[in-house]
Structure 1
Amino acid sequence: MSNALKILTTLDKHLTKHTALVLYGRAALVLGFSGSPPDAALSLDVDVILTTEQSSELDQDESFWMALEAANGELAPSGLYVTHLFEESQVILRPDWKQHLVPLPVMGCQRLSLSRPHGVDLLLTKMMRGTDPQDMIDAQFIIESEQLTREAIETAVAGARVPDIDDIHAAFLTAVPIVLNMAKL
């Protein structure tokens, strides 16, 4: 069982109602693709994108935060956790990213329904830390798995919503030529 699956099934058991989450990062690779990079299964956390609407709803949902705290408490001895919840405005994505979500059927989750961004959006998220070696390995994997063309990536990059943070802008611009060179024409 991957760490991502262990984290999510633990959270699921503490939830009291249906909750939809959009995974990104290595959990999205492990649960959303066959043949993901082997070390992706070893990631110690799960990253989640919250839509603006969902973020507002969860702010008022005390039971969700209690479930999250209980899950993290149960997972703490193994060094696993789910704490990376980012609002969509904090992540590089296409403006219409929500229209292209890919459902993730995950065994063992009764209250969680999971999805991941489309491959090109997932690729954009991997460019937030510039040329981070792990993210570039993941980017290559996404490009190959989704058979993303250079043209598709150029279109996504041109329309991407980049958080208004100087470091993220700079990192993204550094990653663009490297990622484009990974793609086939």
Structure 2
Amino acid sequence: MNITINGRAVEATIDPRMSLLDLLRDHVGLTGTKKGCNQGACGACTVLADGERINSCLALAVQYEGRSITTVEGLSSASGDLHPLQRAFIEHDGFQCGYCTPGQLVSAVGMAGEAERGLPSVVTADLSAETVRLDRDELRERMSGNLCRCGAYNGIIEAVAETFANASESKREAA
């Protein structure tokens, strides 16, 4: 199979039953994506498939033939600079043990893209609005698929809000 991972073409011969998570960790060597529950309930394995967030533990790798996957390793710039959200996680103590952090980071980037495209959540007040306001309730709901066993939720939400809520408001003001 051929797949693009973090902008790099990867060719692999795999068992068709292999999960995308196992391909990333065991065959490509990208261990940032974590195997938490291996049942799709915790979000530690979240990656972006063509910009959409998915639980890689539930996805068969062969389903993503020819597609583009972004892992936590792909969030930083080519020069190694941290993504603004990664810096915000450090500033706001958005991690403790760090196990859920990669999934939280990738999920938040995907979530911001969903909000930018105007996709509503269950708590979105105005379904006809062109943009979604990423207030605390909206962020909590949109990130609810990612669990943190250490309870660093306040720092996570602060980091996500600083990175994406402010960008969303600036974009609205510019329009």
TM-score relative to the length of structure 2: 0.36
Query: Under a length normalisation based on structure 1, what TM-score does the superposition of the two structures give?
Result: 0.35
Structure with higher helix content: 1
